[in-house]
Amino acid sequence: MNIDAMKRQLEKRLSVLSIEARAIDVELHEPGNPDFEERAVEIEGEEILEGLGKVALDEIGQIKSALIRIDLGTYGVCVVCGEDISDARLDAVPYAAECIKCAG
């Protein structure tokens, strides 16, 4: 596995997610429509945006942790059992902190 390439991939994803999270935050802080029916539709949309924002923030946290593990030289090592995380798992989930056995 090429750690430098993985780090660049994680940093790129972190940048994209940070932009998306900021856009969601801006959208959620816009004033609501004074029309009751329109506001009800907006509230539904805001609930979806809040969920997307929480998912983005969670992934941001996981990516930041993965970048720290890269800097510490522990990237690719399961934080639970200490065994290597398979390259296939890291290709699928680059910020994975646990091997497939411990994640299951």
Rounded CA-CA distance 29/8 in Å is 32
Q: Report yes or no on 17 lying in a domain.
A: yes
Count Cβ atoms below 10 Å from residue 24 Cβ, excluding itself. Answer: 20
Q: Cα(24)–Cα(51) distance, rounded to whole angstroms?
A: 10
Q: What is the pLDDT of residues 43-91, one digit of tens each?
A: 677 788 888 999 999 999 999 999 999 999 999 999 999 999 999 999 9
pTM score, whole prediction: 0.80
Determine, yes or no, domain membership for 16. yes
Residues in the chain: 104
> In this structure, is residue 102 part of a structural domain?
no
Number of domains forming the structure of the chain:
1
Each residue's pLDDT tens digit, 2-33: 999 999 999 999 999 999 999 988 887 777 66
Range of the domain at 44: 3-74
- Tell me if 58 is assigned to some domain: yes
Q: At CA 20, angle to CA 17 and CA 22, rounded to 5?
A: 110
85 in any annotated domain:
no
Judge whether 96 lies within some domain. Answer: no
Give the three-class secondary structure for 73.
Answer: coil
In a domain, 30, yes or no: yes
In a domain, 36, yes or no: yes
